Chains A and B, each alone.
Chain A
Amino acid sequence: AQTVTQSQPEMSVQEAETVTLSCTYDTSENNYYLFWYKQPPSRQMILVIRQEAYKQQNATENRFSVNFQKAAKSFSLKISDSQLGDTAMYFCAFMNRDDKIIFGKGTRLHILP
């Protein structure tokens, strides 16, 4: 069975700093998608970034980038120049070939002024 593990339940960083959130996953499949979702206090689930497993190039969306290491089954999220509005719960997620998403338990990120 596929699993997604986020080893950092909670993190805090100063505004403008760079922070990296860790995620590992387990699967026997070769083709799949990986995601990072953000859930602010409003509780809305917001897609931050997505990565297709067959693409070697790491995905980037403005201040958000990933370090995708397929062999190591690692998918970390880097937030550069962190802002107060980045304070949220962040979920790493994996989509298998059945188009079902499996979520990690989340990392609560606090950006401190």
Chain B
Amino acid sequence: DADVTQTPRNRITKTGKRIMLECSQTKGHDRMYWYRQDPGLGLRLIYYSFDVKDINKGEISDGYSVSRQAQAKFSLSLESAIPNQTALYFCATSDWDSTDTQYFGPGTRLTVL
């Protein structure tokens, strides 16, 4: 089984809908991250969490919220989806004693119509 999983892998939704993307990891890492990838822009950090009680905004947090339900789970929510949130979303994890290495999930492709 994959160490970092994301659900769903693909999602099409409509403008104004609430969407939750989920990330789970079995690596036992304490740090988790959500990134967004747009064509020609690379990956940009949305939110990150260094432990269950720690949530931090990244470069592009507007329009998004997150929840760290447990050490192994980190969810990203779009409260009211809009078309420019159409993108590929990645979850990643790292360990406190090896923070230079991040392990990425397979990505979720989200399309907002």
Contact = CB atoms under 8 A, between A and B. Distances in A.
Interface string B59-87: 00000000000000000000000000000
B42 A44 contact: no
Interface in B23-45: 31, 40-45
B100 A103 contact: no
Summarize B's interface: helix, strand, loop or mixed: strand
Given A43-B106, A43-B107, A45-B90, A52 B45 contact: no
B104 A99 contact: no
8 contacts: A4-B42, A43-B88, A43-B107, A45-B43, A45-B104, A50-B101, A91-B42, A100-B58
Interface of B: 31, 40-45, 48, 50, 58, 88, 90, 92, 94, 99-102, 104, 106-107, 109
Given A43-B109, A102-B45, A106-B40, 8 more contacts: A42-B106, A43-B106, A43-B107, A50-B100, A91-B42, A100-B58, A103-B43, A104-B42
